[in-house]
Amino acid sequence: MNFDFDHVGRQDAKKGRLFRLGLWMVELVAVIILAFVIVHFGLQKIKIHGDSMSPTLVENDSIIVNRLNYKFSAPKRGDVIVFKQSGQEHSYYNVKRIIALPGETIEIKDGLIYINGKEYKEQIEVEAITNSGIAQTPYKLEDTEYFVLGDNRKQSIDSRFQSFGTVVEKDIIGKAWIRTNPFKFVSSLNIKPKAKETEAPAATPSASPSPSQKN
């Protein structure tokens, strides 16, 4: 009885093609699912309304929001966050900067911010605060509250005002991650330039004695 090697070879080749096709389909489905998760649960593009975050972000700037960031870590001081306050009538997203964290006490006095009695040195370029609002006296935050300010301190409606209030953790959508045009990470916008270290003056070489001064 003769064994048909050609037939077996064709069957193996067919199985190989089916295996590769199945693997390609699995990879395609995985990519589609991953893209869906990223778009619907990970990243979101929004547009800035108003100039309360000027000069960091201005009217009609488009930014990408990282919705996953706070699933794995808590919001930090200095983060620019995107949130939608419960019970508010407007439907647009708010964008502000976190200044004080849950459980902390904030006070704004003589244009300066104090956290738990210690002056907070901001890393961004902002004007001095002229309206302290509810923080003109020490204001203690609850365990889920964040005190936020707009970078445009003279025109921003933020946590200083009773009508706006603090931001609770469940209302935070995500972290403002990227400004798209021109492209730049939000965390690198409007940062104070580092002070240059004062260089020591070069030593002046001593003058050579004149011939008349030589012994």
Q: What is the dihedral of CA 136, 163, 49, 103, to 10 degrees?
A: 60
pLDDT at 206: 47
CB atoms within 10 A of CB 191: 11
What is the structure's pLDDT at 16? 73
pLDDT at 148: 98
From the list 45, 84, 91, 96, the catalytic residue is 96
192 belongs to the catalytic site: no
Q: Are 153 and 55 in contact (CB under 8 A)?
A: no
CA distance 146 to 100: 6
From the candidates 52, 132, 156, 159, give the one annotated as an active-site residue.
Answer: 52
pLDDT at 198: 38
- What pLDDT does residue 18 have? 77
| Structure-block tokens of residue 145 | 């509250």
Enumerate the H helices of the chain as residue ranges.
5-37, 69-72
For position 196, what pLDDT does the model report? 45
96 is catalytic: yes
- Can you name the CATH fold of 45-188? Umud Fragment, subunit A (2.10.109)
Q: Average pLDDT per run of 10 along the chain, which is 215 residues long? A: 56 72 79 61 87 96 94 95 78 91 97 97 94 97 97 96 94 95 95 61 48 43
